[in-house]
Structure 1
Amino acid sequence: MTTRIDSDNDSDGMYVHGYSAQETRRLGDQADTLAALLHSGTAYPADSRVLEVGCGVGAQTAHLVTASPAAHFTAVDVSATSLARARARVTAQFPEAHVSWQRANLFELPFPDASFDHVFVCFVLEHLSAPRQALTALRRVLRPGGTLTVIEGDHGSAFFHPDSAYARAAIDCQVRLQSAAGGNALIGRELHPLLTAAGYEDVVVRPRTVYADRSRPALVGGFTRNTFIAMIEAVREDALATGLMTAADWDHGIDDLHRTATGDGTFHYTFFKALAVNPLPGR
């Protein structure tokens, strides 16, 4: 649900959600609301070298630093705009943090082999046309025996009450537009085979489920409204311009999505978190 890394290192890339201030806020809401869910179990030893690929506006970086204040982070992104926002965000919150910033293409990382003990990738693969190749490329800069953590969503896991064909159609517009841009909004379910095909060992993938109803108002506001529905609403112009839905049907679908965040509405979504190891030589 965040930054795309493109093959063109001279542009900000074709991030399907855009680079607006509103999107920056959405990413912050998402990271803060889901921090306990997504970052649980992720902490790095003091002085370990950690690469965050596709750091975007630094929303996840802040939580990585919180969990591992003595680790040394290198955060990279293809977007100069996002990288500047990330640096400002994290420096303001954690002036003593050990974070260096680098504009770089995932497929052409400017680091020597085995530079890092750990690599962290969150909401990046979904925007790539070649996710397996990207995972393979990361093995070069990850030391043998080092770990890779990957977190991705899967829009096919979204279900809600009251159910609505219009709401599901609006979500499908986002899925189709992301596919047309070369990404895959359903990639969460593919993490295990992708990592295995890329040559990693000891691959473990586990679901991280979000469920929101009126008894959990923080999730209703932070995730259902401000993260998921806001993400779908942002593609309205493209969905209508490409003829995926009519304006009336789109508005009906968005209204129905908001209905899931009120009264007796409920919303469910599943993220997938993977941990894998870069094999030792000879294995």
Structure 2
Amino acid sequence: MAKIGSYNTKMFDDNTITAEVKRLEQMSEYDKEDIKKFCKEFNFEGIKSLLDIGCGPGFVAAMFSKLNPNGLVIGIDREERFIKIANELAKNQEISNLEFKVSDCYKLPFDDDTFECSFSRYVLEHVSEPIAVINEMKRVTKPEGKIGIFEWDAGLNVYYPEPRFLRKYFDSEMEIKRSTGGDICFGRKAYTALRSCGIKDITVQPVNERVADHNREFFISNHKWFGTRVHPFVQMGLMSQGELDTYYSDLEEIVRSDDSYISYQKLIIVGKVDK
């Protein structure tokens, strides 16, 4: 049986889920230009149907529906509160080609060969059985249809100068993900994972994103999104609160400096379904 995964929405109460939805909205805006690059790889304008797996509150699915108003976009997520927000988003913005369903990514509620494209963004890093999810994406995608993966890889990030306790922070994040079934370095493994599922003609487009080119304050707040709760690294004894405070303090100073360099590595991976 698959583990629940490293992104567990049960930890959000009514107040913190509101903050999380806001964070996810900011993240979708942060990634907007990269999502457009993704659509170019997808040849998205002529696609009639797309499935967005792990769509959250629906912000990226809404982008897809607006970029291709003649195609149907369906988003699925296991979190009912996200799907409720997503449906309200579609209604409020009067988007007619956008639908949302509550569903688990391991057992999609669609017939074989339903969609021309299946897509996931920052999902496979959180699941314990990514191959099973990819095979479900393949099942519901038509022959010669496309599967798209938008992922990042924490092990390819660059920090200079490095904040104190960076390695300990990275190792703690790796351990948290591993214990719940996730993998913060899945990005580098996505190509091989798709190949193992029989996906063909795979292209990989690395996207090196320099933090200074975007909103630095959002980067800091996104890094510290646990808010007033006890950080899980401290809760699990992986870091002390003092070490965590030092890491965050150094990181803020580095991010705000014009002389520093921080970049994140994302990967846009697209392949064709071979059946």
TM-score (norm 2): 0.88
Q: Is the 8 A contact 1:50 1:118 kept in 2?
A: yes
1:107-118, aligned counterparts within 5 Å?
A: 107-118=106-117
Partner of 2:265: 270
Q: Is the 8 A contact 1:174 1:232 kept in 2?
A: no
Compute the displacement of 1:96 (Å). Answer: 3.1
1:110-129, aligned counterparts within 5 Å?
A: 110-129=109-128
Partner of 1:219: 215
1:52-67, aligned counterparts within 5 Å?
A: 52-67=52-67
Q: C-alpha offsets along residues 99-123 of structure 1, whole Å, 9 cap, x if unaligned?
A: 1111111121111110111111111
Q: Is the 8 A contact 1:167 1:256 kept in 2?
A: no
Q: C-alpha offsets along residues 151-199 of structure 1, whole Å, 9 cap, x if unaligned?
A: 0111112222321231342243223212211111110011110000011
Q: Is the 8 A contact 2:210 2:261 kept in 1?
A: yes
Once residues 234 and 144 of structure 1 are traced to their aligned partners in structure 2, the CA distance between those partners, rounded to angstroms, is 48
Compute the displacement of 1:39 (Å). Answer: 2.9
Q: Which secondary structure does the structure 1 equivalent of 2:165 belong to?
A: helix
The answer to whether the aligner puts 1:258 opposite 2:252 as a matched pair is yes
Q: Which secondary structure does the structure 1 equivalent of 2:255 belong to?
A: coil
1:129-168, aligned counterparts within 5 Å?
A: 129-168=128-167
Once residues 107 and 139 of structure 2 are traced to their aligned partners in structure 1, the CA distance between those partners, rounded to angstroms, is 11
Once residues 262 and 22 of structure 2 are traced to their aligned partners in structure 1, the CA distance between those partners, rounded to angstroms, is 21
Unaligned stretches of 5+ in structure 2? Answer: none
Q: What is the CA RMSD across the aligned residues, in angstroms?
A: 2.3
Once residues 272 and 186 of structure 2 are traced to their aligned partners in structure 1, the CA distance between those partners, rounded to angstroms, is 20
Once residues 62 and 224 of structure 2 are traced to their aligned partners in structure 1, the CA distance between those partners, rounded to angstroms, is 22
Tell me the amino acid that sits aligned with residue 66 of structure 1.
Answer: K
Q: 1:173 to 1:81 in 2, by over 3 A?
A: same
Once residues 158 and 15 of structure 1 are traced to their aligned partners in structure 2, the CA distance between those partners, rounded to angstroms, is 26
Q: C-alpha offsets along residues 120-143 of structure 1, whole Å, 9 cap, x if unaligned?
A: 111110111110121012211101
Q: 1:33 to 1:236 in 2, by over 3 A?
A: same
Q: C-alpha offsets along residues 245-269 of structure 1, whole Å, 9 cap, x if unaligned?
A: 1111111011111112212333210
Q: Is the 8 A contact 1:17 1:235 kept in 2?
A: no
Once residues 64 and 167 of structure 2 are traced to their aligned partners in structure 1, the CA distance between those partners, rounded to angstroms, is 33
Q: Which secondary structure does the structure 1 equivalent of 2:111 belong to?
A: coil
Partner of 2:181: 182
Q: Which secondary structure does the structure 2 equivalent of 1:256 belong to?
A: helix
Once residues 209 and 28 of structure 1 are traced to their aligned partners in structure 2, the CA distance between those partners, rounded to angstroms, is 21
Once residues 192 and 270 of structure 1 are traced to their aligned partners in structure 2, the CA distance between those partners, rounded to angstroms, is 15
1:7-18, aligned counterparts within 5 Å?
A: 14-15=8-9, 18=12
Q: Which secondary structure does the structure 2 equivalent of 1:105 belong to?
A: coil
Percent of paired sites with the same residue: 20
